[in-house]
Amino acid sequence: MKNSVTSAESRQRLFEELMLPHLNAAYNLARWLTRNEDDAQDAVQEAYLRAFRFFDGYRGGDGKSWLLEIVRNTCFTFHRREKRNVMSVVFDEASHTPAVSPPNAEEALVKASKRSIMQNCIEGLPDAFREVLVMRELEEMSYQQIADVAGLPVGTVMSRLSRARKRLEECAKGRDMESDK
Amino acid sequence: MNCSLDLIEAYMDEELDPGPSGSVEDHLLSCQACSEAYLRFRTQKANIRAAAPYYTASAQLERSVRNASRQATANEPKPVASSPPWRWLAIAATVLLAVSVSWNMRPSPRRTVENDLVAENILSDHIRSLIGTHLLDVPSSNQHTVKPWFNGKLDFSPDVKDFTSQGFPLIGGRLDYLMDRPVAALVYGRRQHVINVFTWPADPTPMAESRYSRNGYNAIHWSNGSMTFWAVSDIALTELAQFKGLYEK
C-alpha cells in the first residue's frame, strides 16, 4: 500500500509547504544581486530546483536562511558565468530611471527620483556590501542569519554592513546634491 | 562607555542583549556626537525602507517554480513502472474511504469506543492535512515562535518542543478542529515523513498509552494528567513510540 509514490509526493508537498513561502525573499535577494529581472527569474528557478534536489539534506531549522544560501550561491555562479562571457553592462542612466513620468505631478516625481537615487546607490555597492545590506534592511534578517547565508563570521557581517552604510550615505548625499542643482 | 559606532549600529539593529543595550541608551543620552550618529543611521534605515524597492515574485515565476519541483518529482526513478499523479489521489481516496468504514481493532486494555472514534477522526485529519493545502499555519522550527502563535486562538497553551537533534525536527503548527473543539496540531518531520501531534486539555486522570494501526498509518494516544496527545504518522510504530518517549521527557 505504501510505496515510493506516496513518499515522493509527500516530499514534494513538504518542499512546497516549507520553501514556497520564501519565494518573495528569494526573488528580492536575487533581483538585488543580479540587478536585472531576467537573471533574477532564472536564478530563482535554478535555485529552487537545486533546493529541491538538496532537500533531503535539509534538517529542519531556519528554512529561509537555508533557501537564501542556495539563491545567493546560484546568483554568484550566474554572475561569474556572465563575466566570463564579457557581458559587462555599462551603467546606463536612462534605463535606471522611469521612462514615463507618473501622471501625479511633482510629489510623485520627487519620490521616484529619491527612489531611483537609493536604488542606484545600492546597486552600485560591491556585491559583498550589497548582499549584507539587502538582507539586513529589506529582508530584516538577523546578523546570525546573514552570516549563515553568506558563509561569513558574524563579525565580518557587522563590519561589511557598517561599511555598506557608510558608502551608501556618501553616495546618496552626492546624488542628492546633483539632483538639487 | 566610549563612543563606538559598531555598538550603536548593533543597538539600532536590535542585536544587543538588554544589558549592553541599556548602556548604549545611557551613552546616547549623554553624548551628542553619538546621538547624532545614531539619528543619521535611523534616518538612513528609514530612507532605505521607503525608497529602495522590495521586489516581489510574479505569479508566473511562482507557477514555474511549482511546476519545476513537480516535474522533478515526476521524473524521479520509481520502482513502479508508471505512476501518473492521479494515482496518489486515488490511493488517498481509497484510504479515506477504508478509514471511514472501520478502524482496525486490536485488543488493548485502554481501548474504548470513544477513543476509537477519536482515532478515526485523527487519522482522517492527518491524511487531509497531507493531501490538502493546509498542513501548516505557522511554518517554523522554533518552538518559541510556534507556541506563542497559538495565543488567543486556543483556550490553552500547548507544550511545544523541538527534537531536531534526535531526528524529529519541528516543522510548525496549525489550528485544527477535532471532536467538536479547536485543538493544536504540531507538525514534525521524520526523514521525508510527517508526524502530526494533536493535543488538547484532558481529564485529570493520567492514562497509559494506547496504539492504533491502520493501512500503514500508526497512532499513539497518551495523556499526562492535564493534556491529551495523539501522535499519528506513516512511520513505523516503534519509531513513533520513540518519538512519544522524547515528548514525555
- Which of B4, B40, B56, B192 would you mutate first to test chain A, the one with the most A CBs within 10 A? B192
Does the domain at A92-181 match CATH 3.40.50.2300? Answer given as: no
Which residue reads 516549507 in cell numbers?
Answer: A18
Q: Is B171 helix (H, G, I), strand (E, B) or coil?
A: strand
Chain B residues 2-41 within an 8 A CB cutoff of chain A: 5-6, 9-10, 13, 15, 40-41
Which residues, including other chains, have CB under 8 Å from residue B176's CB and lie 6 or more apart? B125, B129, B182, B183, B184, B185, B198
Q: For residues B148 and B231, state if they share a domain.
A: yes
Question: What residue in B sits closest to A139 (Cα-Cα)?
Answer: B54
pLDDT in tens, B142-184: 888 899 889 888 888 998 999 988 889 999 999 888 877 889 9
Q: Domain locations in chain A?
A: 1-89, 92-181
Nearest residue, CB atoms, B13 vs list A11, A16, A136? A136
State the residue range of the domain holding B191: 85-248
Determine the residue type at B16: L
Measure A83 CA to nearest chain B CA, in Å: 24
State the fold for domain A1-89. Answer: Rna Polymerase Sigma Factor; Chain: A (1.10.1740)
Per-residue pLDDT, averaged over A99-127, amounts to 74
Q: Are residues B29 and B152 in the same domain?
A: no
Q: Is A10 on the interface with B (CB under 8 A)?
A: yes
Has residue B58 been placed in a domain? Answer: no
Instruction: State how many domains chain B has.
Output: 2
Q: Kindly report, residue by residue over B4-39, the tens digit of the pLDDT.
A: 888 899 999 999 988 888 999 999 999 999 999 999
Taking CB atoms and an 8 Å limit, are A162 and B87 in contact across chains? no
Does B44 share its domain with B123? Answer: no
The answer to whether A108 contacts chain B (CB < 8 Å) is no
Q: Are residues B110 and B196 in the same domain?
A: yes
Q: Does B25 share its domain with B143?
A: no
**Shared domain check, B99 and B10:** no
Q: Is A62 on the interface with B (CB under 8 A)?
A: yes
Q: Which of B5, B41, B57 sits opposite A27 (nearest CB)?
A: B57
| Tens digits of residue pLDDT in A5-30 | 557 778 888 899 899 999 999 999 99
Residues B94 and B15 in one domain: no
Q: Which of B52, B69, B79 sits opposite A48 (nearest CB)?
A: B69
The DSSP element (H or E) to which B169 belongs, if any, is none
Same domain, B202 and B155: yes
Rounded-to-integer distance, Cα A10 and Cα A16, Å: 10
- With vertex at residue A141, the alpha carbon angle to CA A46 and CA A176, rounded to the nearest 5 degrees, is 95
Q: Is the Cβ of A95 closer than 8 Å to some Cβ of chain B?
A: no
- Top-confidence residue, A139 or B3: A139
Cβ-Cβ contacts under 8 Å, B136 against chain A: 17
Do B220 and B97 sit in the same domain of this protein?
yes
Q: Rounded mean pLDDT of chain B?
A: 81
| Residue position matching grid coordinates 552570516 | A147
Residue B34 and residue B129 in one domain: no
pLDDT band at A93 (very low <50, low <70, confident <90, very high): very low
Interface contact A125, partner B, CB < 8 A: no
Task: Tell whether B100 is covered by a domain.
Answer: yes
Quick one: B27 and B121 in the same domain?
A: no
Q: For residue B66, is it within any domain?
A: no
